[in-house]
Structure 1
Amino acid sequence: MLTTKMNPRVFWGASAIAGGLLLLALMAPATSDLLFGRAQAWVIDTFGWFYVASVAGFLLFVAVLAVGPTGRLKLGPDDAEPDFPYVSWLAMLFAAGMGIGLMYFAVAEPVQHYIAPPEAQPDTLNAAREAMVITYTHWGVHAWAIYAVVGLSLGYFAHRKGLPLTMRSSLYPLLGKRVNGWLGDAVDIFAICGTLFGIATSLGLGVAQMNSGLNYVFGVPSHVMMQVGLIAVVMGAATISVLTGVDKGVRRLSELNLVIAVCLMLFVLIAGPTLFLLRAYVQNFGLYLDHFFVRTFTLYAYEPRAWMADWTLFYWAWWIAWSPFVGMFIARISRGRTVREFLIGVLLVPSAFTFLWMTVFGNSAMSLDLSVAAGAISEAVQADLSTALFRFLEYLPGTAITSILAIALVAVFFVTSADSGSLVIDTLASGGAEDTPRWQRIYWCLVQGLAAALLLLAGGLGALQAATLVAALPFAVIMILACFGLARQMNADLKGEAVETDAAPLREQLKRILAPASRRDIDRQIARHGAPALEEVRAAVAAEGLENSEVQSDENGVWLRVEHANGRDFLYRLGARSRPRPALTALEAPESRRALEWRLSAVTGDGARPRDVTGFTRAQIVADVLEHLQRWRLAA
C-alpha cells in the first residue's frame, strides 16, 4: 500500500484539470489552438494596460520593501541562518528562473528585434541599440520582480510564520481560515496547472533546440519522434535528480549549470569581438537605465501596434504564469535570508548575469550578421528559432566543441527545470509538506514529461501555451492580493519588534513555536552554543578536581559525561528530535501529512523527561547543565 502525504482535493483536482486540458489539446489540436489563441489575444488586447501597471507596481513594491525597515526582517526566526551557501543559492535562482529560455532566445530575440524593431529602421545600428534595450527590459528586473513577489510572500509566511509552503498561505492575512476551504484549494490547483503547463511548453522548446543541435553536430534526424525520445531520456535524469532532493540533486545540477554556462559565455566573449562586447555591455546598461521608465509604462496607446502584444505583453503574462513555479522554488531555498538580502539577490544578481549573457550572444550575433555572416544568422532566426544558436556558433572557432557544450547546457537546464518543477508541484499538492513519498515526486515528474511528449506529437503546444498565458490574468489579481497581505503582516511584525517590554522573551518563544526550526538550525545551535557550553562545564569540572570527564559528539548530537567512583556517572546529552508540526492554524494538514519540525532536546541520565532547549544560548545551556549536575551530586 502506497503511503501518501497529499491534499486529495488539490492533488486529484489538479490532475483532473490537467488531464482534461491535455485531452482537449490532443483530440482537437486545431480547435483548441484557435480557441485558446483567440482567448489569449482578447486578454492581452483588453487587459494589456493591467499587465503593464501590475508589473510596474510589483517592481515598486519590492523596491520599497528592500530599502525600508522591512528589509531587516528574516525569512525565518531572527537567529536563522541561510540553508545554502550564497553561490549555490544564486546558481539555483539562475537555473530555475530563466533556464532554457536563455539558451533558446540568447541569439534569437536580439536578432529578431534587430530585423523588426518597433520604432527604429530595421537592420541598422539604431535597431541594434534598440534591440538590446528591449531584450534587457524583457529579461531584467521586471521579470524578477514578479518572481520576487511570489517568492517573498511564500517564504515569509512559511519560514517565519510556520504556515504551509503553498500559494494559499500568502492570502492568509486577508482571508483567514477561509483559505482552508475551496478558495484555497482553487488557488493551489491554479498554481499547479500553471506550473505544469508552463514547464511542459518550455520543455517542448528545449527538446526542439537539443534536436537541432544534435542534428547539426552528429547528423541525428530532426523530427518529433526523436524529440519525444529526448524527453524520455532527460526526464529519466530529472526523476533521479528529484528523488535526491534539493540539497543534492537540484543544487548540484544548478551549480553544474552555472559552470557550463559561464564557460560557454567566456568562450564566446574571448573568441568574439571582445573589446566591442565589453563596451556594448556598459553602453547597453546605460541605455537600459535611460529608457527604464519609458519602457516600463510603454503601451503604444497613441499609435497601436501588434508588436506590443507579441512581445512585452506576452512576456509579462508569461512571467506571471511562471511565477508560482519560480516563486515557490526560490522561497523553498531562501530560508534564513533577510528580506533585503533576498530581494537584492533575486532582483539584481540574476539580472546582471542575464544582461551580460544577452550582450555576449546578442551583440556578437548582430555584429557577425553585419559582417562575415552577411545576413545568414538573421535568415536562420526567421527560418527556425531552435537553430539560431548553432548557426551563430558556426562563425566562431571550435564550432563542434561549443555546439556540444551548448547541447549539454540545454540538457542540464532541461533537467533542472523538470526536477525543480516536480518538487514545487508536489509541495503544492501535499499541503506544503516537503518530505513526501517518492512515488508522488515521480508522479509529477512523469506527468510533466508525458504532457510535453503528447503535445509534441499532437501539435498542441501552442494551445497549451496560450491557455497558460490566459491564466496569468487571474493570477495577477492573486499576486496583488498577496502584496497587500504581505505588507499588512510585515507592518504588524515591525510594530511588535518595536515594543520594548518584558514581553520580549515571550515573543521569542512564540517565534520558535510559529516558525519551527529546521534540522540545519538545530545542528548550527549545537555547534555554536551546545558543544561550547558542555566544553565550558567540562573544563570547570576538571578544575574542581573531577578529571574523569569528557565531551563527545556524533551525528546525532553531543554529550557530557562526568564519571563517579560509585559508577553512577552524570550524563547530559543534546540532540535533534523531529515531530510533525502541531496544528496551530486551520491550514494544517492531518498529522500524517504535516511537515516535520525539529527541536533541540536535552536528556540527562537521572530519569528526567527530555527537555526542549531550542533557541537556548550558550549561557542558558550552561545553567541547565549546572542545575542537573547539582541534582546528580546531591543524589550521589
Structure 2
Amino acid sequence: MSDDGIPAPEGAAALIETDYEIGQDNITPNVGPFGLDIHNPVFLISGLSIVAFVLVTLAFQEQSGEIFTHLRNWLTQTFDWFFLTAANIFVVFCLFLIVSPYGKVRIGGKEASPDYSYGGWFAMLFAAGMGIGLMFYGVSEPISHFSSSFADNAGTPESWAPLAGAAGDAEAARRLGMAATIFHWALHPWAIYAVVALSLALFSFNKGLPLTVRSIFYPIFGERIWGWPGHIIDILAVFATLFGLATSLGFGAEQANAGLNHLFGVPVNDVSKVLLIAAISGLALLSVVAGLDAGVKRLSEINMALATLLLLFVIIVGPTAAILTGFFANLKAYVIDLPALSNPFGRTDDNFRQGWTAFYWAWWISWSPFVGMFIARVSRGRTVREFLVAVLIVPMLVSVLWMTAFGGTAISQIVNDGYTAVSDAALELKLFAMLEALPLKSVTSLIAIVLVIVFFVTSSDSGSLVIDTITAGGKVDAPVPQRVFWAAFEGLIAIALLLGGGLGALQAMAVSTGFPFTIVLLLACYATWRGLRSEPR
C-alpha cells in the first residue's frame, strides 16, 4: 500500500487482490427480472428516477418547459464563474501532466500494449466526443458570433483591443467570431473529457478497481466507495450522462428533421422529431447488441470516413486558400484571445459568458462520464503523455479545421458573395443553407443528414454501453437486456424534453446535471494526481 492509500501496482499483489475483492463483493452480478444486472442501489434508483422523470415531463409539458427555462437561466447566470474557473483548472491540470514526469506512466502497466491502432482509436474517441455538436454548430456558431459582432460590438471587452471596432468591420468580426467559436471546441472541452478518461483508466487498468466512476475516489474515500458515497457518485454520473446525451440527441433530431424538410419536404413538427428519435434509437439498439468492436467501432469508422469526405469537399470547392490560411490565422486568434475568453471575471458580455460558455462547459461536463469512460475503455497501453496529447491536441486541431472550413466558408459567402441565406436561416438549417451555395448541393446535404444520423447512433450506443457499465458496478459484459433498457430510455428522455420545452429544456437538464458533476471532476483531478504519485515511472 502506498502512502496515498492506493494499492501499489507491483510488489503488493495480495493488497491489490484484497482491495479488488472488497469491491467485487459489492458488484457481484445479481440478475433479476428481465435479465437485468441489479448489483446495488445505483441501477434501481437511476432507473426509477428516469422513468418518473419521463412520465412527469410528458404529463405536464407546458409547466415543465417553464421550469426548465428558469432552471437553465438561473444556473448559467449564477454560476457562470464556477463553470469557467473549473474548466480552466482542467486545462492547466492536463497540460501539467503532459510535461511532468507522470507523463511516462503507462495505462495498464509497463508491459501493456494498445488494444487499437491509432486510426481506430482516433475515430472512436472523436465520433463519441464531438460528432453531433460539430454538425449542428459548425456553421451556426461562427455565423452567430460573426453576425452579432459585425452588427454591434458593445459587448466587446476592452482587453480585446485588436477587436475593438468590430461593428461594421467584417475582418474584425470574422476574427472575433472564429476565435470565440474555437474557444468552445478546443482545449477546454477535451480537457474535461481527458480528466475523466485518464482517472478511470488509471484506477481500473493500473489499480485493479472496477471500471466505474466511484473507483476514481478510492484515494479520498477509501473503502467507503463501496457504500453510499460511491453509490451517489455513480448515480450522478448516470444522470449527467443521460441528460447530456439527451441534449445531443435532441440537437440531432432537430437538424435531421430540418435537413429532411430541406431536401424532401418532410414536415418540421414534433411528430417528425419523435419518429426520428424512435427510428434512430432503434438503430442504436442494434449497434448496442452488436457490442463495442462489431457495432460502435465500425460505425465510428464509417462516421470518420463520411465526415472526412464532406470536410475535404468543402475545402476543395469552397474558398480553399482562405480556409487553409484561415486555419493558422484562427488558431493564432484563439491563442491570443484565450486569456480574455476564459477569464471567469472578465468583461465579456453576459450573453456570451452565460448563454454560450457556461452552457457549453456544463454540457461537456455532463457528457464527460460517457465520453471519459468510453475513451478509457479503448486507451489501454498508451502512456499518460501520449494519451493526453492525443485526446487534447489532435481533436482540437481537427475541430479548428472543421470550424474554419464550414464557418469560414459561410462567412465568406456573406462577405464576398452577398449570400445572406445562411445568416437568415434557422439555427438547425444554417449548415444546409451553406451547402446550398456549393456544387452538388443535394448530394452533400444528404451526406450531412446521414452524418447527423450516424453520429446520433454512435453517441446513443456508446452512451448505453457506458451507463450499462456504471449501473453494473464496472462490469463491461453486463446482460444485453440492460443495454437495451438504457438505449431505449435515452431516446425517451430526448423525446420528453423536446415535447416539454424544446431545445431550451434539453439545455437546462444538461446544465443542471453538469453543475454537481463539476465538483466530482475537481475532486477527480486531486485523486488522479495521488494515483499517479504511486505509479513507478
TM-score of the aligned structures, taking structure 2 as reference length: 0.88
Q: CA deviation at 1:77?
A: 2.1
Instruction: Give the letter for the 1:220 counterpart.
Output: V
Would you say the 8 A contact 1:25–1:463 is kept in 2?
Answer: no
Counterpart in the other structure of 1:136: 182
How far did residue 254 of structure 1 move?
0.6
Cα distance, 1:419 vs. partner?
0.4
Map 1:487-506 → 2, pairs under 5 A: 487-494=529-536
Structure-2 change in CA distance of 1:488 and 1:379 (3 Å): same
Name the CA distance, whole Å, in 1 between partners of 2:334 and 2:501.
37
**Counterpart contact for 1:5–1:433, Cα < 8 Å:** no
Taking the aligned partners of 1:29 and 1:195, their CA distance within structure 2 comes to 22
Correspondence for 1:51: 83
Q: Which residue of 2 aligns with 1:627?
A: none
Bigger Rg, structure 1 or 2: 1
1:453 aligns with 2:495: yes
Residue 50 of structure 1 and its aligned partner are, at CA, apart by: 1.8
Query: Where has structure 1 moved over 6 Å in runs of 4 or more?
Result: none
Deviations 1:41-93 (A, max 9, x none): 23322322222211111111111111111111111121111111111100011
Structure 1 gaps of 5+ residues are: 498-636
Cα distance in structure 1, aligned partners of 2:404 and 2:320: 11
Provide the C-alpha distance between the structure 2 equivalents of 1:414 and 1:122, rounded to a whole number of angstroms: 38
Which amino acid is the alignment partner of residue 50 of structure 1? F
Task: Show the counterpart of 2:467.
Answer: 425
The answer to whether the 8 Å contact 1:26/1:460 transfers is no
- Separation of aligned partners in 1, 2:60 and 2:171: 45
State which of 223, 248, 264 in structure 2 corresponds to 1:218: 264
- Measure how far apart 1:218 and its partner are: 1.8
Equivalent-residue separation in structure 1 for 2:257 and 2:292 (angstroms): 28
Which among 342, 354, 375 is matched to residue 309 of structure 1? Answer: 354
What SS class does the counterpart of residue 78 from structure 1 fall into?
Answer: coil
Superposed displacement of residue 296, structure 1: 2.1
From 353, 364, 372, the counterpart of 1:327 = 372
Distance in 2 between residues matched to 1:78 and 1:109, nearest whole Å:
43
1:391 corresponds to which letter in structure 2? A
* Contact 1:137–1:288 (CA under 8 A) maintained in structure 2: yes
Q: Residue in 2 aligned with 1:628?
A: none
Q: Do the aligned partners of 2:435 and 2:441 also contact (CA within 8 Å) in 1? A: yes
Q: Deviations over 1:479-538 (max 9, x none)?
A: 1111111111211224xx5xxxxxxxxxxxxxxxxxxxxxxxxxxxxxxxxxxxxxxxxx
Give, in whole Å, the separation in 2 of the partners of 1:59 and 1:287. 18
- Shift of the alpha carbon at 1:23? 2.9
After TM superposition, give the deviation of residue 336 of structure 1 in Å.
1.3
Which residue of 54, 68, 74 maps to 1:22?
54
Judge which range, 34-43 or 388-397, deviates more: 34-43
2:342 counterpart of 1:296: yes
Residue 561 of structure 1: aligned partner:
none
2:342 & 2:247 partners in 1: Cα distance? 27
Alignment-derived partner of residue 608 in structure 1: none
1:603 corresponds in structure 2 to: none
2:323 maps to: 277
Aligned to 1:341, which of 358, 378, 386?
386
> Matched residue of 1:371: which SS?
helix
Tell me, in whole angstroms, the C-alpha distance in 2 between the residues paired with 1:290 and 1:419.
Answer: 38
Kindly indicate whether the alpha-carbon contact (under 8 Å) linking 1:25 and 1:460 is maintained by their aligned counterparts in 2. no
User: In 1, distance between residues paired with 2:342 and 2:317?
Assistant: 35
Aligned-partner Cα distance in 1 for 2:382–2:444 = 37
Cα shift readout 1:222-260 (whole Å, capped 9, x = no counterpart) = 222122222222112111111121112111111111110
1:465 matched to 2:510: no
CA drift of 1:464 comes to 4.3
Q: Are 2:143 and 1:111 equivalent residues in the alignment? A: yes
Quick check: 2:497–2:505 contact (8 Å CA) kept in 1? Answer: no
Q: Distance in 2 between matches of 1:129 and 1:461?
A: 28
Give the whole-Å Cα distance in 2 for the aligned partners of 1:155 and 1:204. 30
Q: Which amino acid aligns with 1:340?
A: R
AA aligned opposite 1:82: P
AA at the equivalent of 1:74: R
Instruction: Name the CA distance, whole Å, in 2 between partners of 1:15 and 1:123.
Output: 53
Q: Which runs of 5+ in 2 are unaligned?
A: 1-32, 150-154, 157-165
Choose between structure 1 and 2: higher helix proportion. 2
Question: What amino acid does structure 1 have at the position aligned with 2:328?
Answer: V
Given candidates 372, 375, 396, the residue that maps to 1:351 is 396
Cα distance, 1:125 vs. partner?
A: 1.8
Partner of 1:81: 113
User: Following TM superposition, by how much is the alpha carbon of 1:177 offset from its aligned partner in structure 2, in angstroms?
Assistant: 1.0
In structure 2, give the amino acid aligned to 1:141: L
Which aligned pairs between 1:576-591 and structure 2 lie closer than 5 A? none
Q: In angstroms, what is the RMSD of aligned CA positions?
A: 1.7
| Cα distance in 2 for residues equivalent to 1:464 and 1:402 | 28
Aligned length: 491
